[in-house]
Amino acid sequence: MSPRPQALGVVLAAGASRRARCVKALAEIEGQAFVLRALETLCRGGCQRALATVAPPHEAEIRAAIGVQRSLRVSAPEQGMFASIKRAAEVARAFGYDALVVSLVDHPRVSPATVAALLDAYRYEPAELLRPSHAGRRGHPILVADDLLERVAHAPASSHTRRVLDSARSARSVDVPDCGIHQDLDTRGALHLFCSPM
């Protein structure tokens, strides 16, 4: 049996949070900021290291909360989510990680067991892209590995995330008992219990 892959976890937290009208990454659930909870989930699930992408206008606030060593600056956040994923893939390749686990900051209820399930699924049967699935629907986080990780690292930052991920030559869904993979706390309405307006 192969060992678990060496995985870098990344929490996508470089957005401006315009729809939420608050610093979404710093909204709290059970007394813990979304971004800190997501970083902890990735590490408890088996990632060797976890970073959160940051960019203006909330870069300084998020870095103050998580520490500079756990932040990864994105230079062109206006180009969208893929710019953050590409930056994390570049770091993963530069430091020799086998896989990148990509988490969304607005999915704070994901279980560490889901991250572990993705890593174990790759261990038993490697694929370029692994996604968790619950009740017949796929969700987040995702695992990117092998040649797809290389292609992500070298794609233009302006690329469309779905188009690049759809280029995976091997992709599988991993069934998990975790409804948190679908719980997207993304809008002001969804977040009103978790954070204060800006």
pLDDT of residue 122: 97
pLDDT of residue 4: 82
**Residue 60, helix vs strand vs coil:** helix
pLDDT of residue 78: 74
pLDDT of residue 70: 98
Structural domain harbouring 149: 7-191
Written as tens digits, the pLDDT of the chain (198 aa) is 567 899 999 999 998 766 656 788 999 888 899 999 999 999 999 999 999 999 999 999 999 999 999 999 998 777 789 999 999 999 999 999 999 999 999 999 999 999 999 999 999 999 999 999 999 999 999 999 999 999 999 999 889 999 999 999 999 999 999 999 999 876 555 555 555 444
pLDDT of residue 55: 93
pLDDT of residue 192: 52
The span from the CA of 53 to the CA of 62, in Å, is: 9
The span from the CA of 129 to the CA of 165, in Å, is: 8
Answer whether residue 197 is part of any domain: no
The span from the CA of 112 to the CA of 55, in Å, is: 26
Answer whether residue 1 is part of any domain: no
Answer whether residue 2 is part of any domain: no
State the total domains in the chain.
Answer: 1
Answer whether residue 198 is part of any domain: no
For residue 5, what is the DSSP state? P
Answer whether residue 58 is part of any domain: yes
Contact (CB, 8 A) for 24 and 105: yes
Q: What is the pTM of this model?
A: 0.92
CATH code where residue 183 lies: 3.90.550.10
The 3-state secondary structure of 133-190, one letter per residue: EECCEECCCEEEEHHHHHHHHHCCCCCCHHHHHCCCCCEEEEECCCHHHHCCCCCHHH
